[in-house]
Amino acid sequence: MDLSELQVFLTVAREGSFSRAAERLYRTQPAVSLAIRKLEDGLGQPLFVRGARPVRLTDAGNLLRDYAERLINLRDEVKNATGGAPIHLGLNAVGGDSALRLMNCLAASGTLVTFGAMSLQPLKIPNGLLIFKDLRFRGIWINKWYDNATPAERMAAFNPIFEMAGRGLLQTKVEKSYPLNEIKAAVEHAAHAQRRGKIIFEFGTR
């Protein structure tokens, strides 16, 4: 699935009607129906209760709506944070749905570099992103590069990162911080799939 299909799905869900969604999207109703059918075929589940007025989401449709809204919101957050500048490079250390969200934020002919798989989920690449956005995919094994690099090459790679960190340009969202004596709760929280930030430890607290 890609963002255009998810946008059609969300519009039908909001409007409660295929015909009104088609008007809102400036598409024909058959085109909207085809996009929804492609999503349903790919997921193997019906997303809408046909025949209802207005059309209603199935249980699978409700789950997809939550996922689609997060995906669309991330794209908008990136656009706002960069002033709408095209993103040509994405760095993927997680895999699974996280990588898909990154792919959909990239500009046409952008590159996604994978250097980790913390989710243990495979990297799934929708055909539309290959065909219509011409995205490129690369991989790098950081440990192998580090072992083969000279000290000068290592510092040349790390110095720009140190400089950006010193200027406060490298930031990440933190969902919750825990003292070290609550390590079990922290690990359980970190295992949740729907987190919106990092789980970190507070050092020097009781």
pLDDT band for 150, please (50, 70, 90 cuts): very high
Q: What is the DSSP letter of 162?
A: H
- Structural domain boundaries of the chain? 3-69, 86-140
The residue count of the chain comes to: 206
**Residue 132: partners with Cβ closer than 8 Å, 6 or more residues away:** none
Position with higher pLDDT, 156 vs 95: 156
The per-residue pLDDT for range 2-27, each reduced to its tens digit, is: 667 888 999 999 999 999 999 988 88
Strands 174-179 and 198-202: parallel
CATH for the stretch 86-140 = 3.40.50.720
Query: What does the block give as tokens for 128?
Result: 């539309």
The per-residue pLDDT for range 163-198, each reduced to its tens digit, is: 988 888 888 888 989 988 888 888 888 877 667 788
Specify whether domain 3-69 bears CATH 1.10.10.10.
yes
